[in-house]
Amino acid sequence: MGLEYDALRKLNDEECTPALEALFLSAQSQMWIFAVYEMIRTWRQRAKNIIKWSENGRLEAKLHALETDIGYQHFGRMIRAEEIKRVLADPSIVDRVRAGLRVIHIPFARIEAIRVSIAKHEVGGHKNSVALRPGYGRINQWCGSLDYELENGIYSMGYISRGDIADELRALDTNPPPTDEALEQFDTFMRGPPTGR
């Protein structure tokens, strides 16, 4: 936030884009978005696995596999085993994980869309497509965070910034899980109108 406010202050003082500050801010913002994306992607995969293993009765088998002696202490396996033990001791955790996946669905989809545009210069879900403005961010006039365009390859669907993402993540535990209808409407919006591709 400090870098963002500094860039905004310099933009206002000089009445032109502060190139060096904007380049550094862009690099930092992109790395932050990539890191957040990977953290949430990893959590979502582990959450989905817990749900799947719980539903198909495979939690005990997964626990046994993780606790099998492999000749040395593997701390990652130990952590995963402890997670499964907690779920076995309190199956209501699975319902909380399901609710958590619903709550993170919209923020994650927005992060994923901008991450694909920035990292791959493509439109999410459209392999070998070309993003409209990949990696380009404008300094937000209110907070200095870079605004990146959310788009589907033809249509602009608004903007998202690192600051927006941070605000959405800070609010996760205060939001009730969205309804099926809300999730469906959001997913339809993110796909955009048919493009004839």
pLDDT at 187: 92
96-153 residue pLDDT tens: 999 999 999 999 999 999 999 999 888 887 888 888 888 889 999 999 999 999 888 7
pLDDT at 4: 93
pLDDT band at residue 92, thresholds of 50, 70 and 90? very high
In DSSP notation, 156-167 reads EEEEEEHHHHHH
Joined together, the tokens standing for residue 140 give 């937000």
pLDDT band at residue 195, thresholds of 50, 70 and 90? low
User: What's the predicted TM-score (pTM) here?
Assistant: 0.88
Task: For residue 155, give Cα distances in angstroms to 88, 141, 151, 194.
Answer: 46, 23, 6, 10
pLDDT band at residue 196, thresholds of 50, 70 and 90? low
Task: For residue 11, give Cα distances in angstroms to 49, 106, 111, 136, 147.
Answer: 47, 32, 26, 17, 15
Q: Give 123's DSSP letter.
A: B
The CA radius of gyration of the chain, in Å to the nearest whole number, is: 21
Range in 51-60, 73-82, 160-169, 184-193 with the lowest mean pLDDT:
184-193
Among 108, 190, 122, which residue's Cα sits nearest to residue 156? 190
11-65 residue pLDDT tens: 999 999 999 999 999 999 999 999 999 999 999 999 999 999 999 999 999 999 9
